[in-house]
């Protein structure tokens, strides 16, 4: 994620000084000299590449095409005095020969060019009037107004008039548009799931509510439940429960206390979210042209960072000075967030969650086994016989593998922490247009363990589809884990943040646990079991109230040990599973205490907290997968209500999902707010969300003093509340797949069966298995098909007493003529030989005629 400050050097053609007399008030004077250009061009200045003249009483500049950053071409005026605490109005008339975006700024006129005001401003052929108000936080005689007009591919003409900067303006007061006071999930609710809303009101007694369908007919009524003042928003609120309504439909509205909610649907409302959340990753890819035929022509672009000018990477990237003396080809992967950096630790958790999204289809009773198969997503690899989500994850895995220090070099086997530009670039900027030098940053223990963990996952999941790639992953995982053990305290520097985020992490014990767990699940080897048992995270609480994230990854190992078949003894495995359920119980308790119904505490609004909330819902969803207890599923659904609009701002944080949704997220690629020729983020893009830290100057100025859920603004300049990031969208992708699998919420029936799976013999890379299928119902089973998935790359050999076939990891056994009928209480048995180069755990989920046993 981004930490950036805009800097520039300019060629000034005209400079005129001005001062404010001691004791004078700022509102006594117009600070701009010659803002109407009646006296020519002085004292205005411009960069040498944008010469300006007065034409018909306006200052017009010929702006060159082919520049990279907004500050590559500027028109401005210097030596403007500001007073601390004074409010100013900056206004002007402007037009452009073609639709284009510029940045209108008031800032310090020398380094570090500290901004007092920065507003993206979209211009068109007709003159428009613009006015912005800000309050100065400094006394300074050396401020400037600056129109940053670079960054366009094509040349264009800018014309300005009536430029004014005056003091005495009413102080700016930001009041967010929160719409109706009845807050709902603007996407909707499952027909057979919880349905809750929150009402902002001054009332202390219950208020009446009514629910109307799309035709306006009232279908339910009731009274609200007062909740008092919500600590996460500072609002007095009530809650409404209308879960009893199950009729599917669109256009439902909820009315209470004289206000009517945004419309929403009831039914199977999340079917398309899985695909939308995952398409984000394809559009974020580095090193490949983005095909508009797959995702919309507005997102089509040239491949970024493939060594084609003006790019200076990523096919042959040097290290930072003194870090190493070799160069690496680190093409591919995903651009991390709003910048063009690629980071192993954030790529690690994002890759894990995509792989886990797929692995859940092999292990969870309510998962749709084919939902993420080949041809289900918008990726160019569709049709290659590999599940599309694995194709997407492989794009990042290949990059992670390329970041490993080569054999024979110092720190061989470790992973470089990150690769990015050697300085910050401006917004917007297409990846193929980035001219900055790319650099490899020092290897870190955290990055190395992220590589070890995700490569171990890769080894077991890709084995049915590409044995050579799986073997490459396993070799890299073993090598990385050993290198991390030899270098356990190589931590990323907190100061290494020029041109990219630091992603520093001073505690890597959680990464060691996660990597050991993944290697044990994949290989079953005792050395990894010994290491994970020695970790304090194996018995400690790894599910904190604020959720797991890239610096806190122990929960990832715990979740896989709980859900993926592995060699832990039964009692130890049950303890691991119980810990997940206990964490889910704690999140349910938190959810019940929040008036907006989310499993995040009132003090849990920080950078990227929307994803942390979703990760807590992932734990709730996993508890449902483990137990089948519906209250965990319901908790996960309620946690997502917050994401889609049941919050203090009445705002959905997912682009394209909800009446009022984020669409101006901070990104160099999705810069529509700055440049009308560029798109907004694609549907399914998750914004970081409310963040009381307000680390960026735009949010810090606009939202000072905000409470919890109000600490958010949908503006491209707010990188601390409104960025996109791969690890946030990976959380959304995981839960989106879970939600889609629930359909309209109708409980899935179970088959009346019991299955035992026994290995009678095992030798290097081979085994014999016997499967016993018992009818536990009261009626005969007349014709049966039993299906399961191997989770560790096992392959079927010869079978007997059933017709047994395998496609990818999925095995299907069908009765023969003589054993098709199974009477109540009776069993059939069949067997097969197989091969397995890895741990070969027994499958745990069996489906009889499509239903889980």
In sequence order, the β-bridge partners of residue 789 are 810
Does the active-site annotation cover 339?
A: yes
Long-range contacts of 525-533 (CB under 8 A, 24+ apart): 525/839, 528/481, 529/567, 529/568, 532/557, 532/561
Angle made by CA atoms 574, 580, 581, in degrees to the nearest 5: 85
pTM, two decimals, is 0.94
Can you give the pLDDT at residue 761?
79
Is the distance from CB of 417 to CB of 446 less than 8 angstroms?
yes
pLDDT given for residue 28 in this prediction: 60
Helix (H, G, I), strand (E, B) or coil at 539: coil
pLDDT(8) > 60: no
Q: How far apart are CA 157 and CA 205, in angstroms?
A: 61
Report CA torsion sign: 580, 583, 584, 585. positive
What's 636-692 look like in SS3? Answer: HHHHHHHHECCCCCCCECECCCCCCECCCCECCCCCCCCCCCCCCCCCCCECCCCCC
> Distance between CA 395 and CA 335 in Å, rounded?
11
Task: Retrieve residue 790's tokens.
Answer: 């191997």
Q: What are phi and psi of 72, to 5 degrees?
A: -70, -15
Q: In what order do the strands lie in the sheet with 87-96?
A: 52-55, 58-63, 156-167, 87-96, 128-135
Q: For helices 726-741 and 609-627, what crossing angle results, to 10°?
A: 30
Q: Which of 101, 104, 96 is nearest to 62 (CA)?
A: 96
Q: Which of 350, 500, 351 lies closest to 419, judged by CA?
A: 500
Are the beta carbons of 337 and 685 closer than 8 angstroms?
Answer: no
Q: Which of 161, 339, 518, 741 is catalytic?
A: 339
Phi then psi for residue 702, to 5 deg, are: -75, -35
Query: Could you tell me what percent of the chain has a pLDDT over 90?
Result: 95
Annotated active-site residue in 666, 701, 715, 792: 666
Q: Length of the chain in residues, anyone? A: 853
Q: How confident is the model at residue 675 (pLDDT cuts 50, 70, 90)?
A: very high
* CB distance 795 to 810 below 8 Å: no
Q: What distance in Å separates the CA atoms of residue 52 and residue 40, rounded to the nearest whole number?
A: 10
pLDDT band of 27, cuts 50, 70, 90: very low
A 10 A CB-CB count for 716 gives 26
Question: pLDDT tier at 764 (50, 70, 90 boundaries)?
Answer: confident
Average pLDDT, the chain: 95
The predicted pLDDT at position 763 comes to: 86
Distances (CA, A) of 410 to 326, 344, 401, 476, 537: 11, 19, 17, 16, 30
Residue 832: which pLDDT band, with cuts at 50, 70 and 90? very high
Number of C-alpha atoms within 13 angstroms, CB side, residue 162? 11
Any idea which residue has 């979210």 for tokens? 273
CB 154 within 8 A of CB 77: no
pLDDT at residue 361 greater than cutoff 90: yes
Within 8 A by CB and 6+ apart from 746, the residues are: 191, 192
Beta strand spans in 224-354 (E): 225-229, 236-241, 249-256, 259-260, 264-267, 317-318, 327-328, 342-343
Segment 69-77 mean pLDDT: 96
Active site residue 538: no
Place of tokens 């790639």: 469
Q: How far apart are CA 399 and CA 342, in angstroms?
A: 9
The answer to whether the peptide bond before residue 714 is cis (omega within 30 degrees of 0) is no
List own/partner pairs for 46-51 with CB under 8 A and 24 or more apart: 46/13, 46/73, 46/74, 46/75, 46/76, 47/10, 47/11, 47/72, 47/73, 47/74, 47/75, 48/11, 48/13, 49/73, 50/74, 50/75, 50/149, 50/158
Task: Print burial letters for 79-99: b (CB count within 10 Å at least 16), e (below 16).
Answer: bbbbbeebbbbbbbbbbbbee
The answer to whether residues 605 and 615 touch, using CB atoms and an 8 Å cutoff, is no
Q: Is the pLDDT assigned to residue 409 strictly greater than 50?
A: yes
**pLDDT tops 60 at residue 655:** yes
Q: What is the mean pLDDT of residues 830-839?
A: 96
Given a contact cutoff of 8 angstroms between Cβ atoms, the answer to whether 676 and 696 are in contact is: no
Tell me the DSSP string of 179-230: -SSEE--SSEEETTS--EEEEE-S-SS--EEEEE-TTS-EEEEEE-EEEEE-
Cβ atoms of residues 348 and 451 within 8 Å = yes
Q: Give 472-524 pLDDT, tens digit per residue.
A: 999 999 999 999 999 999 999 999 999 999 999 999 999 999 999 999 999 99
Report yes or no: 422 and 434 within 8 Å, Cβ to Cβ.
Answer: no
pLDDT of residue 762: 79
Neighbours of 675 (CB within 10 A): 20
- Across residues 690-708, what is the average pLDDT? 96
Q: What is the mean pLDDT of residues 665-689?
A: 96
Are 693 and 684 within 8 A, CB to CB? no
Round to whole Å and give the CA distance between 415 and 477. Answer: 11
Instruction: Quickly state the pLDDT bin for 29 (edges 50, 70, 90).
Output: confident
pLDDT at 173: 87
Tell me how far apart the alpha carbons of residues 224 and 672 are, in angstroms, rounded to a whole number.
41
- pLDDT recorded at residue 218: 98
Residue 202 has pLDDT above 70, yes or no: yes
Radius of gyration of the chain (CA): 29
DSSP letters spanning 575-636:
HHHHHHHHHHHHHHHHHHH-TT--SS-TT---TTHHHHHHHHHHHHHHHHHHH--HHHHHHH
Active site residue 723: yes
Distance CA 487, CA 502 (A): 20
**Packing angle, helices 445-462 and 509-523, rounded to 10:** 20
Average pLDDT over residues 799-822: 98
pLDDT over 80 (residue 810): yes
What does the buried/exposed string (b/e) look like for 130-139 if buried means 16 or more CB atoms within 10 Å of the residue's CB? eebebbbbee
The answer to whether 551 and 445 have CB atoms below 8 angstroms apart is no
Provide the 10 A C-beta neighbour count for residue 495. Answer: 8
Cα-to-chain-centroid distance, residue 408? 37
Helices 526-534 and 509-523: crossing angle, nearest 10°?
150
Q: What is the mean pLDDT of residues 344-357?
A: 98
Distance from C-alpha of 110 to C-alpha of 115, rounded to nearest angstrom: 11
Instruction: Read off the pLDDT of residues 545-599 as tens digits, 9 standing for 90 and up.
Output: 999 999 999 999 999 999 999 999 999 999 999 999 999 999 999 999 999 999 9
pLDDT at 760: 84
DSSP 378: S
Please tell me which residue in 161, 518, 675, 714 is annotated as part of the active site: 714
Judge whether 230 counts as a catalytic residue. no
Q: Which residues pair with 91 in a beta bridge?
A: 131, 164
């Amino acid at each position: 994620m981004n930490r950036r400050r805009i800097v520039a050097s300019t060629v000034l053609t005209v400079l005129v000084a001005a001062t404010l007399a001691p004791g004078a008030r700022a509102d006594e004077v117009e600070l701009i000299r010659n803002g109407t250009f009646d006296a020519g061009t002085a004292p205005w200045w411009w960069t040498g590449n944008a010469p300006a003249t007065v034409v018909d009483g306006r200052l017009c500049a010929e702006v060159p095409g082919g520049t990279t950053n907004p500050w590559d071409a500027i028109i401005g005026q210097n030596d403007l005095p500001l007073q601390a605490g004074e409010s100013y109005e900056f206004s002007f008339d402007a037009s452009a020969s073609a639709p284009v975006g510029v940045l209108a700024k008031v800032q310090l006129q020398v380094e570090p060019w500290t901004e007092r005001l920065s507003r993206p401003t979209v211009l068109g052929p007709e003159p428009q009037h613009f006015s912005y108000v800000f309050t100065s936080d400094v006394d300074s005689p050396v401020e400037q107004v600056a129109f940053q007009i670079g960054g366009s591919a094509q040349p264009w003409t800018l014309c300005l008039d009536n430029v004014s900067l005056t003091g005495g303006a009413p102080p700016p007061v930001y009041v967010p548009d929160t719409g109706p006071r009845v807050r709902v999930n603007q996407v909707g609710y499952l027909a057979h799931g919880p349905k809750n809303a929150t009402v902002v009101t001054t009332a202390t007694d219950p208020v009446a509510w009514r629910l109307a369908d799309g035709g306006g007919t009232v279908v339910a009524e009731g009274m609200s439940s007062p909740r008092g003042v919500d600590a996460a928003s500072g609002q007095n609120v009530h809650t409404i429960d209308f879960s009893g309504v199950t009729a599917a439909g669109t256009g439902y509205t909820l009315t209470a206390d004289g206000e009517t909610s945004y419309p929403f649907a009831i039914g199977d409302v999340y079917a398309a979210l899985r695909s939308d959340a995952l398409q984000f990753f394809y559009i974020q890819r580095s090193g490949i042209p983005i095909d508009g035929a797959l995702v919309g022509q507005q997102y089509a672009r040239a491949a970024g960072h493939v060594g084609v000018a003006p790019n200076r990477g990523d096919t042959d990237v040097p290290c930072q000075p003194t870090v190493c003396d070799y160069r690496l080809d680190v093409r591919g992967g995903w651009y991390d967030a709003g910048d063009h950096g690629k980071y192993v630790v954030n790529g690690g958790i994002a890759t894990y969650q995509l792989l886990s999204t797929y692995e859940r289809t092999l292990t969870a009773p309510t998962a749709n086994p084919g939902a993420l198969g080949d041809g289900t997503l918008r990726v160019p690899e569709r049709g290659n016989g590999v599940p599309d989500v694995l194709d997407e994850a492989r794009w990042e895995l290949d990059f992670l593998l390329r970041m490993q220090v080569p054999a024979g070099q110092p720190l061989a086997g470790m992973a470089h922490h990150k690769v990015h530009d050697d300085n910050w670039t401006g917004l917007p900027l297409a990846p193929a247009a980035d001219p900055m030098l790319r650099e490899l940053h020092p290897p870190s223990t955290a990055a190395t363990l992220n590589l070890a963990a995700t490569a171990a996952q890769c080894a077991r999941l890709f084995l049915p589809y590409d044995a050579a790639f799986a073997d490459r992953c396993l070799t890299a995982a073993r090598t990385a884990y050993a290198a991390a053990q030899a270098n356990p305290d190589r931590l990323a520097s907190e100061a290494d943040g020029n041109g990219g985020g630091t992603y520093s992490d001073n505690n890597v014990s959680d990464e060691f646990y996660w990597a050991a767990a993944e290697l044990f699940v994949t290989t079953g080897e005792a050395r990894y079991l010994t290491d994970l048992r020695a970790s304090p995270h194996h018995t400690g609480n790894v599910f904190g109230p604020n959720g797991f994230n890239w610096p806190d990854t122990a929960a990832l190992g715990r979740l896989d040990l709980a859900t993926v078949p592995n060699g832990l003894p039964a009692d130890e495995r049950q303890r691991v599973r119980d810990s997940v359920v206990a964490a889910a119980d704690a999140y349910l308790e938190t959810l019940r205490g929040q008036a907006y119904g989310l499993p995040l505490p009132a003090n849990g609004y920080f950078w990227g907290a929307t994803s942390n909330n979703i990760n807590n819902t992932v734990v709730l969803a996993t508890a449902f997968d483990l137990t089948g207890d519906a209250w965990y599923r319901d908790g996960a659904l309620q946690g997502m209500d917050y994401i889609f609009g049941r919050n203090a701002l009445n705002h959905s944080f997912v682009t394209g999902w909800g009446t009022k949704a984020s669409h101006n997220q901070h990104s160099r690629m999705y810069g529509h707010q700055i440049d009308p020729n560029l798109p907004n983020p694609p549907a399914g893009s998750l914004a970081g969300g409310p963040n009381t830290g307000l680390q960026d100057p735009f949010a810090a100025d606009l939202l000072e003093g905000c409470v919890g859920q109000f600490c958010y603004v949908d503006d491209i300049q707010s990188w601390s509340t409104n960025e996109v990031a791969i690890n946030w969208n990976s959380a959304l992708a995981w839960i989106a797949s879970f939600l889609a699998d629930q359909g309209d919420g109708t409980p899935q029936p179970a088959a009346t069966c019991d299955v035992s799976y026994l290995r009678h013999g095992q030798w290097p890379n081979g085994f014999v298995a016997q499967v016993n299928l018992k009818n536990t119902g009261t009626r005969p089973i007349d014709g049966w098909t039993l299906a399961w998935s191997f989770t560790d790359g096992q392959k079927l050999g010869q079978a007997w007493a059933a017709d047994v076939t395998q496609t990818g990891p999925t095995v299907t056994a069908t009765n023969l003529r003589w054993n098709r009928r199974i009477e109540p209480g009776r069993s059939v048995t069949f067997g097969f030989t197989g091969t397995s180069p890895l741990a070969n755990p027994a499958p745990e989920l069996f489906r009889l005629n499509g239903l889980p046993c």
